[in-house]
Structures are given as C-alpha cells and as structure tokens.
Structure 1
C-alpha cells in the first residue's frame, strides 16, 4: 500500500440498491456486502471518486475529515477501503465491471440453487427435460470429432502396459476428462468420468497444442476425444498460442455452452460451469503432480470468443502449459 500514490475506485465495483438496501458488489472478487450503515464520510468520498478519475491519499483523508471523521482516524479509514479493494492504485488495470466474464461471476453469485434432494423437484426436472426434447434434440455428452479426421490413439492407463509413446500424456488426459461409461438423465445422454460434475454435465472439452515427435512431429492442434481416448487432428487454424517450450504442451479447456445450456436454461448454468471448471482443473493439477509434471496457467482474453473457429469446440475458459519432468521428456 503506497499512500503517496494516486487512487481510484475499483473498476469492477458497483453500488446496487435492492428494495431500499444498498449493496457493494464486486464480481471480480466474487463477493458482495450489505451496507448496513452509510456514514456521510464514505458516501462523500465515493461520490468524489466517481466524479473524478483519481485522487491523492491526502485528498481522500481530507474528504473524510471534512465529513466529521477524527483526524487521527482518517488514515485508518482510508486504509480499510484499500484493504477491502474498494479503492485501488490509479495505475491498476482491470476489466470493466460490465465485462462478460465478470457478469458471469455475478450470475453465479446471484443464482438460486435447486434442491436435488427433493424427489418431487427431480421428477419435475426430468419432466421438463422431456418437454425440451420435444422441440430440440438433446446434445451429445461429449465433443464428437469429424469422422474423417486423423487421430492418434493414446495408451490406456490400466489396459496398456510397458513403455509406450505418449503414456504420461495419455494418463493425464484420461484421468482429467476421459469417459468411463455412459448414462442418461431422462432423455439427456450423459457420461461418467473421473472428475465429479454437477448433474453429470461435464461441460468442458479439451484441446492440445503440441510439437511432440511422438504426436506427429510438427507443431499441431488436436482435440481430445474422451470417448475413444484419442487425439484428433484439428483442421482449422486457430489463434491458440504456441507451446511455451520445446517439451511443453498447451492444454485449452473449452466450454460446451450448448451442452450445459440445453440442460440449464436459467442462470443455474453459470454456477454449474464454474463449479465443474474447478473440479476439472483441480483434477488436472492432482494428476500432473502424481506424474511429476509442472502445470502453469496461461492468461487469456477476458471475454471468450463465443463463435469459436474450432469445429465443435466452444470458447476457452482456461489454458495451461504442461511441462513433463525429465523422466517424461522422452515420452
């Protein structure tokens, strides 16, 4: 914290009034709080910052003192605002509070959860899906590659033995997202996989950018077919980044928006996406740690491109650089 610097309101902060109650909301931090009291010094300070691009620390404390805060407590009051990230250094760069990714977080916070322990709620839910199916066929439970695409079968971690090419990569992808069996919820086909999923939705597909000799030699982009446990060569050229090192892979996590939105046609889709993303990413890190691999998250654009140019794959929600250990480099 640097009191000598200029400060501004957090760009992701908003004040919302609901039925006469004021709420401070910051979807970037995944939080909102109720303003039980609205001291005049705080309202005056927020108003000043809303009207200006920035203010110095001394101007902030002077504003508080001018509204009745004791001079020996003004500094502590402003520090509390900085600690709560209500004010940030003027040089802080962050997306607008109206950016789509932050609005997704906002919906996730505000969405009411359905009680799936209630048998009548489950019956009503399944009946609703049958009505959905009358107007539009339910989507497949996973990414389905084009039939003529070239593919590389990956070693199965339990069925294949011995030192085989891509054995560690096969284990990583298998335990992160492979299909173990088929199931259904009413008319909706679903799959059983290693990571847990809300309603067995598994709303994410994986693609891999690699230059491994055992994966074809030249740098190429593959989709992971979780049903066949195979890498399928993607024909479309995309803006996916190159591997960060010769022995690294770039793994992208794509949201299957149609798959999750067919099932959840309200804001319930948002917490489902983020809950399942956490399941998948945590599983990825655990498997990588077991294999001795390093996983590094790669920053990507704040607002995903909803019209993905990859055939059948949705926008990227997360991206990771995978680096095998020295024992796995030869794989």
Structure 2
C-alpha cells in the first residue's frame, strides 16, 4: 500500500467561528487555502477521524492509507511529500495569504453582476443598515474644540491649528457621492475602496500648549478632539502623536470576503501620505513612531489600531527603526493562577496546523502560545468549545473527569491560553461577533497576529517614505486634494503626452529605487487592441521595454474593469511579500497606499483623470509581469484624460 502525505497548506479552525451557519456535525473545519475550500471534520464528542488521518500523514514518512480516495481527490492528501505546495509554519498570515491568492473577483462591468450586487446589498440592508459614515462619539465625553481649518496658510506655528488642518484635511469629507438606498457616500482627500473610509485618527497629547494631556479621538464633522483616556506617559516629555485606527464594520458590511481586509491597509497608506504632505506643507514632519500597549488594550475589536506617528518640527534626520518583536521572541507570560471553581472554554482564537505527524495549536490573543496537542488535549478543547445551551460542565475538575485526563493537563491548557475563563471567553466572543457574522474571522486572526507583533514595536514602513524631497505649497496641495482629486470611470480615447504621463509617478521614483521589494511597470496603450509594457530599471533609472500584450490580457488581469483598459497609461506597482511576517506584510500594503496617494496628488495637480484598483486576477497578472503571483501584491493606476458626465 502506497504512503500518502498531508497537504502542508492545510489548517484547522473552529467551525462555529469560520462557518457559523453550517456547523452540522463538526466542531472543527479543515481549510485548504489553495482551493479556498472548507471541510467539516465530523465527530462532535470524539477525536475527528479526518484530523487524525491528516495528523498522522503529515510525518516525513507519510501514512499508508486505504479508502481515502475522496481525500486525494480534494487534495487533502497528496501522493508525494515534495510537491509544489508551499510548506507553511506557525504564522497564520502564511495560510491567509494562500487563501486569498487567486481570489475570483466579480466583474461589475456586467449589468447582470451589478444588479445581483444591488440585490445582495438590499438583503444586507434588511438585516442591518450600513454603519454610520462617521463614528458617533459619546456626547457626555469631554471635548476640545479645534480652531477652524485654515488650509491656505503658508506655515503654522500652533500645534492646535496644525492638528485642525491636517486632521480635517485628511478625514473630513470634501463632498458626497450619491449612494442610492445606502448613501450618502463620502468623498475625501483620500480614495477608499467602495467609499467605505474606515480609517480614523487617535491623537496622543503630552506637554502640548493649549491641549490637556490625554488620548483623544478626532471627530471630523465637529472638528473636535474627544477625550478617550489618560496618556500613559508619566514624564514631562513633550509628545504630539497620531495613531491611525480602522472602523472595520464599514468595509465588512459591504465586502464579506477575506481579501477585502487588505484594502483597509491600503486606505491607511493613502491617509498617511496625505497627513505627511500636509504636515510638510505647513513646516512640520510626520515620523514613524510606536503604538503603546495601553492604546491597543483600550480598543475593542470594533476599532483596530494600525500604526503610529509623531509630529514635530524637522530636525534633519528621521527616527531610527526599532527592532521588531517576532512571534519566536515572545516573552513567556507569567503563570496564571486558575480558579478550581471557575468554568473554562476553548479560546475562540485557537487554530491548528499539521506538522511532522503532530497537530500543533496556536493562539495570538489574549496571549501568544504554540503547543503540540496530543489526543487528550484535543479532546478537552473539543469538549470545552462554547455550547449553544451553555450548560456543559467545564470547571478544571469537570474537564479532567469528563475526558479522563489529568488535572495537570487541563492546567497546561489554561496556562497556554488555549482554555480561557468563561467570563473572558464571553467577552472575546462579544468583541469578535461582527467579524464572525460578516465572514471576517480569518481576517481577525491575521490582525490579532499583527497586533501581537506590533505592540511596542516601531513601525517599519521605512524612514525614506517620510522624507520630503521638495517643498510643497499648502494652497495648491489642498486644491488638488479637495477639488481636483476624483475617480475617473470614463477616459477619453486621446493619448496623453509622455512627459505628462511620467509626471504622474515621478514623485515615486526615489522610493522605488530604494526599496528592493517594489517594482513598477508602465503600460502604454498603442491602440484599442494592444499595450506596450515597460519595466522600471532601478539600475538604469529609467523604463526599459519589456513586452507587448493584447488588451484582452490586461482586461482579464484587472477582472474586466473597463477604465483600466480605456486609459492612456497604466502604472502598475507590485510589492513582494515573500518571507514577511504580519508586520512586514501590513507595511508592504501601507507603502503601496502611500505610493498611490502620491500618484493621486500628482494627477490631480496636472488635472489628469485617474482610476486606481488593487483588484486583480493574480495568475493572469503574473503572466504580464512575470513575477511570482503567490508572493506579489498589485496596485494599478490608470491615467488619462477624464470624460466628465
């Protein structure tokens, strides 16, 4: 009998979290990310047979098995150990990225697809209305009125006026878009996928004139700082900092799939670049900074902190980068004294993978831990999942007796964070409820992993992204952001001249040359059927001819988005994410967002039409760029003369 081997891309999630409406007779779901398919592991009160087979077959020798044809047909078991499937590790990001790679986007240029989408939105609306376009802050909280924005000032001396200008300029709407039954949608200085605009700002104040120390939320429509909490800085050190957060319910209401989570970080990158350019225009610098752990702890999972920055007068050099804390360097948590009378349930953020004939459990929240799970441990975790009736006995002693395991084994699961006190579990479920119900549970696991690595670590976007190579006048900059920057959906057939086309991306070239992970391609429309492709050479500092492609191939690469194919020129940014951890992955997205906002501002200044999109057919895109589709993030900018309706 020939040995079979577990597909190394597989991982295991708790069914009620990843697929809450289809639990059936399985508490655990095996996910094949390459095929984006989920399989229930049948067996509620026992060690599921599917998980046992996959565990044993993950050894170097594989496992001799029979009557498993269905598992080989579904590629859960493979005939050879050295296959083309990339072997994963203990980082959930690797699995997530495989899951969203090759995601099949809908082509909304199709009338049929557009009408179906509207029907779907109507169904969503029957369950719950779209979230507010601005977060409604508690009216009883202490508020500080900022002065009116004065966007055309040549320079600003006051921190209070600076905050008013850069925060209003970035987060306050400059117009509205007709949203039909679910509008209005807002138009801001920064584009946002589906006009969701999830990014918000937190302001941290210490020793700043005219502003009491504390942590504040910025309320754009009222131009106010709303008190959130005390500042953790007990020193007299002056501090003026920003933390960008995301109100995740806005995009998740509209986009109920895992890949849309990445767009949040692209949006954040756009906001960072706007904040940076506005700050520089008024004589200040935006620099990378830390996010304090108390800031992370203060927010539930409705608002997620992403990155932090400090604001200061230029001093000639940027803040140095801090050493990143990785999951392998996590300091062990102090031993937890558990109550013999308290009830414990399985951590809702526990997930598992197969390796070397073992099942490995991982959790990043509320503490980080990795543990090889033997059958006794898994039986306890299986039994201790939250029941619908909530009547399953689950004190440490009851868990020990019901599963015939030692109390020390239960203790080990508690110490690892795999079993969590019932009251804490209820709190975790409450925080995660909207992620689960909107199909964003896997996105949540990615964020929790990012959070665990990011706490008290300095952002690693790169200090070169915060240099200002040329002076910017506030007036023209604000006019470009507030008036000229609009999404173009219909382009004139007229080609734009090479100098104007190149001007759209000239501000990005220094960053491209300095960042090994970034590539740029230029596609020039030759005629309706053909595009000439050039690739930016960092060595030659110019575009070099690469190939010619048919328009149909480009249209397939951008999933039929007509504005891209109709444009005069397309600039295509590609970032490698190979080998990155969660912080590096997010920073790659932030960089792409910052680069694209530079393009937005440049095109607005030149009054060129612009359509941008990160949505791509990964495999077709790779045929054009000849880059590894699995490890590449794409972002497209279509440039031309706009036809305004």
TM band (smaller chain): 0.5 to 0.7
The whole-number CA distance in structure 1 between the counterparts of 2:232 and 2:93 is: 21
Q: Quick check: which has more Rg, 1 or 2?
A: 2
| 1:85-96 equivalent positions in 2, closer than 5 A | none
Q: Does 1:128 align with 2:120?
A: yes
Deviations 1:8-58 (A, max 9, x none): xxxxxx9759xxxxx9xxxxxxxxxxxxxxxxxxxxxxx99xxxxxxxxxx
Contact in 1 for aligned 2:248/2:302 (Cα 8 Å) = no
Q: Which residue in the other structure is 1:278 paired with?
A: 269
**Distance change >3 Å, CA 121–CA 283, structure 1 → 2:** farther
**Distance change >3 Å, CA 15–CA 242, structure 1 → 2:** farther
Q: Does 1:224 align with 2:218?
A: yes
Q: Does 1:208 align with 2:197?
A: no
Q: Which residue in the other structure is 1:154 paired with?
A: 146
Counterpart secondary structure, 1:250: strand
Deviation at 1:202, TM superposition (A): 0.7
Deviations 1:193-238 (A, max 9, x none): 1111111111111111112544433x2111011222221112x45x
The whole-number CA distance in structure 2 between the counterparts of 1:243 and 1:182 is: 43
Contact in 2 for aligned 1:295/1:322 (Cα 8 Å) = yes
Q: Which residue in the other structure is 2:509 paired with?
A: none
TM-score normalised by L of structure 2: 0.31
- Provide structure 2 residue ranges, at least 5 long, that are not aligned to the other structure: 1-6, 11-33, 35-58, 61-85, 316-645
Counterpart secondary structure, 2:242: strand
Counterpart secondary structure, 1:166: helix
Counterpart secondary structure, 1:142: coil
The whole-number CA distance in structure 1 between the counterparts of 2:147 and 2:217 is: 16
CA RMSD of aligned residues (A): 3.8
Deviations 1:79-100 (A, max 9, x none): xxxxxxx9xxxxxxxxx95445
Deviation at 1:121, TM superposition (A): 3.0
Q: 103-112 or 120-129, which moves further after superposition?
A: 103-112
The whole-number CA distance in structure 1 between the counterparts of 2:98 and 2:282 is: 36
1:263 to 254, 266, 270: 254
Deviation at 1:111, TM superposition (A): 3.4
TM-score normalised by L of structure 1: 0.58
Q: Which residue in the other structure is 2:281 paired with?
A: 290
**Distance change >3 Å, CA 149–CA 130, structure 1 → 2:** same
Counterpart secondary structure, 1:227: helix
Deviations 1:280-308 (A, max 9, x none): 12222222222222222225599x96xx6
**Distance change >3 Å, CA 277–CA 165, structure 1 → 2:** closer
Q: Does 1:250 align with 2:241?
A: yes
Deviation at 1:321, TM superposition (A): 1.4
Deviation at 1:244, TM superposition (A): 10
**Distance change >3 Å, CA 103–CA 290, structure 1 → 2:** farther
The whole-number CA distance in structure 1 between the counterparts of 2:99 and 2:235 is: 34
The whole-number CA distance in structure 1 between the counterparts of 2:130 and 2:291 is: 31
